[in-house]
Structure 1
Amino acid sequence: MNLPCYPKGHALLIGVANYQHVPGLPAAILNDAQDVAATLTSTAYCGYTPANVITLLDGQATRAAILANLAELAVRASADDTVCVFFSGHGAIVGSPGDEDSVLVAVDTDLSDIERTSISSEEFGKALSRIKAKRVLVFIDACHAGGAAVSKSLADGKGHSFKSGYSQNTFEKLAAGSGRALMASCRADEVSGVFRGARNSVFTSALLAGLRGAADKVGCGFIRVFDLFNYVAEEVPKQIPDDQHPIFKADNLETNFAIALSLGGKKSTVLSGLVEVAATASSQDPWMALELALSDLYPLGPRDQEIWSRAGGDLSRLEFQSTGKAAWHSALRKLRQGGGGRSITLATLIRAALEDFAAHPTLTALEAR
């Protein structure tokens, strides 16, 4: 039995609650990292291969270990992969007013030597830029209310003190680059809520619900980046009205790319039924059946999930269209006439789509023709 999987997904989850030199944070912070890891690797949810998901908690999350695992991620992830980096813990703002920057506070960060014992935004950004994957999403859940950061300051009791959290400038740095995006738990002037006795922070609770299928409102079988943020951005203010607003930064993001399976890749029964009906009605015309199926599975058109390229096609041979359906109609008409790229055929396109939707009835029927 082949279990649903998303083999191109990679993740690094970091959670620090018990620091060596600064006040700690609620236990929910550790749960956040563990629960995101469990959700990503669950075959019932996101389908990541467990070996591709690394979790660093408390004493494991030293400055050296975080940087080493980011470097290892850069080696492991290929251009066609999807990478998620999640950090829940302290952030500290450094620099002068008007030129503020931020550092990631590792478990062994010493405020008396913060420059050498923390991870600067420049260092973090460079580590992310070395990752070859075309889809990289960074989650930052910091400045936690309910912990020491509620006062918006981070001190060690020895005369060293910094404003806690992350600056807007830092968020922009971490989201820089094509295919890069950042999702943060709150604005720079807010705190990230953790309710007393709750298993997870408010932000991560919404994130987990989204990853567990709530963000896939159309039932397409994938969790997509814009859909996930929209869900989280709507849900967090329901719990903390007016005081916490997640933010999203993307410097050069053109597509609503998938980051994981939704409910193990399960499509809405309504949508699946429509595709089956369309396939039956078009049984004498495989091209029409394929067009209906692909328009449903890849609503953004042939560029969606790089399906056209993966099938051996050349996107530069396709004309721009205003909608995904129009793009598919135009692309398949060109393919039928022998165009669209030297290596693409009806068979290679069906096989590429079956890599994403192995049990799809229309694709399976078309492959068997």
Structure 2
Amino acid sequence: MASGQKIRVLTGHSEWVSSVSFSPGGKQLASSSYDGTVKLWGIHSDKELATLISVGENDWAVTTPNGYFDCSEGTKDYVHFVRGTEVIELDQFFETFYHPGLLATVMSGGELPDIDAGEQLNNSPPPTVEIISPVVGEKMQQREIEIQVKVCNKGGGIDEVKLLHNKKRIPDTSNERQDGDCLIKTYTVSLGVGDNTFVASAFSAERVESRGHKLDVHFSGAVREAVSHVLAIGIDEYKNPQLKLNYARTDAESFVEVIRAKSSRLFTDVNVTTLYDTEATRENILTTLDQIAAKANPEDVFTLYYAGHGSIVDNRYYFVTTENIKLYDRAKLDRDATFVNDMQQKLTAIPAKKVLVIMDACHSGAAADLLAVRGAAEEKALAQLARNVGVHVLASSGSEQYASEFAQLGHGVFTYVLLKGLQGEADMLKDGQVTVKELGLYIENETPKIAKQYKGQEQYPTTRHDGQDFPLVLE
């Protein structure tokens, strides 16, 4: 700088640069521009590392040149990838390129897989998808109808077809037939009274997702009353005594107590199934979910509450059930624990269109260092669960943290806040009811404060809302 000599030129902004600043270590440079972005540059590599985009007052996105991204939920309607005249939604690359905590990874010099979204799109373009029956505007006179989806291979193959009904995934029990390069899939679905929204999409062989095709159908039949189905799991006792927890069962019991007391006026019946301690085996959990699927209707609500250990190994998230002896042994977890994809399949099979998954999943204190590198993968696993099934997920710890229990509270921090919210403190609109989204917002705001008060360190929960909002409790 003293000589005023130009060393290098960093090119990337589309408008004038308004300011620049070096990182404390001098290894990175941030530049802000009138194009509405902030870019991070590697000083020694001459490379653009990431772009930060602000949308309105509350929404944001972080992207890298090869397509990795992290963003707030509200950003997805405004930020897209563009190739020529083609506009590509962020979520089309969700499975491979969504990276929670991306900015922290870039700033710390962390490594990302050397994959490029543009190359993946060229090598494996997504299929085209169209709902061809029923047609737009068709009046439905019966509850059971057929939905036909046409999926055409555009060079990248057809890996998986997904159909959402009012944001909840429909189990793939469809009939299908080949029509040249296209596949015609026929689903039988049960309509709810009022508006029914269907969205179909499909993946290429390399898991690039198509844009969704949407169809709205209205049904004016008789209203069926809703039932609330609840599965509450709380595990203090594990086969390995070193995994013992103190308040997981109490947390689950307290959740059941509040739900029974506060939701009975919302539903014609509240069916609660509990699995505590040694009852909470992998087999019992999966069997119970099958039983709920057999009796639930589309109008019903299903809530899964889980308090116990959680673990992630090789980017695979597990609910650690009572028979487990190790948290990070993949072979043992595959055999004894419940893999999140197995849980996803069971949740998809439950007909209820309104589904909430609540996870107060603790990790042993000794695992804190391991979790520091596993946090982003855990957060992505929960996001995938919510997105792939079309459900709400409220989870105790966000990236690079572990959930805490406190004798002073008699609960884990997360469930302590959850219970206060369900007892009415989360009623933001003061209308006498607490909805799932109100509860999620309350948990996001209050959990860090309570954790800071009792532990001296904030704990940030993970919340994902990929389903219909609905009330849980009524005052």
TM-score by length of 2: 0.47
Question: Aligned pair 1:262/2:435, yes or no?
Answer: no
Of 187, 190, 193, the residue aligned with 2:398 is 187
* 2:243 counterpart SS class: coil
Of 101, 107, 110, the residue aligned with 2:322 is 107
The offset of 1:135, in angstroms, is: 0.7
Deviation string, structure 1 residues 147-194 (Cα, Å, up to 9, x no partner): x3453379xxxxxxx979971232022212464111111113111121
Match of 2:367 in 1: 151
| Residue identity (%) | 28
Question: Aligned pair 1:239/2:454, yes or no?
Answer: no
Q: How does 1:194-209 map to 2 (within 5 A)?
A: 194-209=405-420
State how far apart, in whole Å, the 1-side matches of 2:267 and 2:447 are.
26
State how far apart, in whole Å, the 1-side matches of 2:375 and 2:239 are.
17
* 1:53 counterpart SS class: strand
Deviation string, structure 1 residues 196-252 (Cα, Å, up to 9, x no partner): 34311111011111111111132323221111111111111111235311111134x
* 2:405 counterpart SS class: coil
The offset of 1:36, in angstroms, is: 0.3
The alignment covers a number of residue pairs equal to: 241
Match of 2:381 in 1: 170
Query: What letter matches 1:229 in structure 2?
Result: G
State how far apart, in whole Å, the 2-side matches of 1:195 and 1:114 are.
27
The offset of 1:49, in angstroms, is: 7.0
* 1:204 counterpart SS class: helix
Label 1:44 to 1:131 Cα distance change in 2 as closer, same or farther (>3 A).
closer
> Larger % of helix: which?
1
State how far apart, in whole Å, the 1-side matches of 2:265 and 2:409 are.
23
8 Å contact kept, 2:264–2:270: no
State how far apart, in whole Å, the 2-side matches of 1:175 and 1:46 are.
27
Q: How does 1:27-66 map to 2 (within 5 A)?
A: 27-43=246-262, 52-66=271-285
Deviation string, structure 1 residues 243-299 (Cα, Å, up to 9, x no partner): 311111134x3x4322x2322xxxxxxxxxxxxxxxxxxxxxxxxxxxxxxxxxxxx
State how far apart, in whole Å, the 2-side matches of 1:240 and 1:46 are.
33
Of 342, 346, 353, the residue aligned with 1:127 is 346
Q: How does 1:91-102 map to 2 (within 5 A)?
A: 91-95=310-314, 100-102=315-317
Farther-moved stretch of structure 1 (30-39 vs 51-60): 51-60
Structure with more contact order per residue of length (Cα contacts < 8 Å, sep ≥ 6): 1
> Larger % of strand: which?
2
* Alignment RMSD: 2.7
State how far apart, in whole Å, the 1-side matches of 2:240 and 2:268 are.
35
* 1:244 counterpart SS class: coil
Q: How does 1:222-233 map to 2 (within 5 A)?
A: 222-233=433-444
Query: What letter matches 2:470 in structure 1?
Result: F
TM-score by length of 1: 0.59
State how far apart, in whole Å, the 2-side matches of 1:190 and 1:94 are.
16
Of 465, 472, 475, the residue aligned with 1:250 is 465
Question: Aligned pair 1:67/2:295, yes or no?
Answer: no
